[in-house]
Amino acid sequence: MKHVVETQEIAGQSPNWMLARLDDLVNWARANSLWPMPFGTACCAIEFMATAASRFDFARFGMERQAFSPRQADVLICAGRLPFKLAPVIRRVYDQMPQPKWVISMGACASTGGIFDNYAMVQGIDTVVPVDVYVPGCPPRPEGLLYGVLLLHKKIKGESLGDRALREEHLLDDSGLRLPPDEIETISEPFGNSVHQFRSA
């Protein structure tokens, strides 16, 4: 973004008109006033709280107000592992958020299932809701989450109001899946150490 806003002085007065691309102006406003909806389920939520507290203080990045109602939130931060039992809950929270909305998947468990490659755990929340930024770590330090937030700012500033596909939410069918089953299988495949885990009949 080279020229966000241009102002011009007329006849020695203070600037009294300005020119900007609507995209830049709107994205600038959106990116710098993200209201997070914390969906904290595990230890990542502790780091999330540290990020929100005075030392790291993500209010510096426009996240002054944490929205504990999805109706008033812009960015859903899933901090922690997501069991299958909570999958319909996060789906509903996401559905209740008004557009425009974004999702940050914080930590290894939210992003991939982490060490919990078992019967109870969703293997990456992207099988349930679309994710914009993945923050790695177990749990990520507050700097990590802040970096994720800054990446989200960057992403938002690159968006275009004309691109309606960005705001589209579609499910495959009545089953509630947003990805085709084989894609979910691919995402959920064991990796790393968990390929060595076999405990089956």
Partner 1 sequence: MNPSVDALRATFGNAIGRAAVARDGETVVYVRADGLRDVMQWLRDTPGQAYHYLVDVTAVEHRDRELPLEVVYFLRSLDRRADLRVKVELDADADLTVDSVTPLWSGANWLEREVFDLFGITFRGHPDLRRILMWETYAEGHPLRKDFPLRGRFSRAEQVRQALAANPEAHYSLEELSIADAQDDLPPDMKERLQRGERGKLSRDE
Q: Give residues in contact with partner 1 (CB under 8 A).
A: 84-85, 87-89, 91-92, 117-120, 122-123, 127-128, 175-177, 181-182, 184-185, 187-188, 190, 197-201
Which residue, 99 or 200, has its beta carbon nearer to partner 1? 200
The CB-of-81 to partner 1 minimum distance in angstroms stands at 14
What CA–CA distance (Å, rounded) separates 113 from 130?
Answer: 15
What CA–CA distance (Å, rounded) separates 98 from 25?
Answer: 20
DSSP E strand stretches across the chain: 6-8, 17-19, 36-40, 75-79, 102-106, 133-135
Count of alpha carbons within 13 angstroms of residue 77, beta-carbon side: 30
Which residue, 17 or 198, has its beta carbon nearer to partner 1? 198
- Written as six digits, the tokens of 29 are 């406003």
**Cα–Cα distance list, 198 to 82, 95, 114, 123, 152 (Å):** 22, 36, 16, 17, 38
Which residue, 4 or 89, has its beta carbon nearer to partner 1? 89
The CB-of-159 to partner 1 minimum distance in angstroms stands at 28
Closest by CA to 145, choosing from 68, 54, 52, 73, is: 52
Which residue, 32 or 96, has its beta carbon nearer to partner 1? 96
Which residue, 33 or 118, has its beta carbon nearer to partner 1? 118
The CB-of-176 to partner 1 minimum distance in angstroms stands at 4
- Written as six digits, the tokens of 171 are 């499910």
Through-space distance between the first and last CA atoms of the chain, rounded to whole angstroms = 57
